[in-house]
Amino acid sequence: MDRREALKSVAFLIGSAISATTMGVLFESFTLPDNEKNKVSFSGSDEDILAEFADIIIPTTASSPGAKAAGLGPFIPMMIRDCYPENMQEIFATGLKAMQDKCVKDFNKDFLNMSVAERQKLMSNLRDEAIATNKEPSFFLIARDLTLLGYYSSEIGCTQAREYLPVPGRYDGSAEYKPGQKAWATN
């Protein structure tokens, strides 16, 4: 199975957690014509910001590393440039810039210099704005979706955040599941 098929499978499995916009992009064909790719560019600083953004959504816990450790900083821009249509690339890039402007306006510092509590407050505000405007696609929804998709299709997400069975056994529709046990991941 190639990476595109694996990502489609993960997207299908976490279906209701991902917005309709991202599901549409993933299942449309997952490829763009060459003339629509790379319409926006991201700096190393943007990748750092997106890694920290993703780490607020999926932080490191005692049982597994977070989104930053799973390499979401470079993953999110790569997906935006290679898989999202030109208009959505622009929406994302504009939203990322607007988020950085909001950091300076509301907290008088850039995103990378904000405390975890300030980042969480910002994320809560961005989420509330996305819900209130019911504007899809939005920067927040796309970034959240790609965080979930990237994390749960990464090695860390599949082997440490979930229960891992490297060689699937027989199908058992009534396998015992203990309260607090991780969900299963197989390849």
pLDDT tens, 46-77?
999 999 999 999 999 888 899 999 999 999 99
Q: Give a yes or no: residue 50 inside a domain.
A: yes
Domain total in the chain: 1
Higher per-residue confidence, 117 vs 27: 117
Q: What percent of the chain has pLDDT over 90?
A: 42
Is pLDDT at 173 greater than 70 in this prediction? no
pLDDT band at 3, cuts 50/70/90? Answer: very low
pTM equals 0.74
**Alpha-carbon Rg for the chain in angstroms:** 17
**What is residue 1's predicted lDDT score, i.e. its pLDDT?**
46
Mean pLDDT computed over every residue of the chain: 81
Q: Give a yes or no: residue 144 inside a domain.
A: yes
Q: Give a yes or no: residue 36 inside a domain.
A: no
pLDDT band at 40, cuts 50/70/90? Answer: confident
Q: Give a yes or no: residue 16 inside a domain.
A: yes
**What is residue 13's predicted lDDT score, i.e. its pLDDT?**
46
Higher per-residue confidence, 36 vs 93: 93
Q: Give a yes or no: residue 19 inside a domain.
A: yes
Q: Give a yes or no: residue 171 inside a domain.
A: no
Higher per-residue confidence, 97 vs 8: 97
Strands, E assignment, 74-159: none
Q: How far is CA 59 from CA 63, 115, 121, in A?
A: 11, 14, 15
**What is residue 180's predicted lDDT score, i.e. its pLDDT?**
81
pLDDT band at 157, cuts 50/70/90? Answer: confident
Q: Give a yes or no: residue 142 inside a domain.
A: yes
Q: Residues 93-130: pLDDT tens digits?
A: 999 999 999 999 999 999 999 999 999 999 999 988 88
Which H or E run contains 165? Answer: strand 163-165
Q: Residues 80-100: pLDDT tens digits?
A: 988 888 888 999 999 999 999
8 A C-beta contact, residue 130 and residue 140: yes
Domain encompassing residue 155: 3-31+42-166+179-186
Strands, E assignment, the chain: 163-165, 184-186
Q: Which two tokens stand for residue 102?
A: 């909001």
Per-residue b or e along 22-55, where b marks 16 or more CB atoms closer than 10 Å to that residue's CB:
bbebbeeebebeeebeebbebeeebbebbbbbbb
Running DSSP on this structure, what letter comes out for residue 181? P
Q: Give a yes or no: residue 70 inside a domain.
A: yes
**What is residue 184's predicted lDDT score, i.e. its pLDDT?**
63
Question: CA nearest 145: which of 16, 2, 1?
Answer: 16
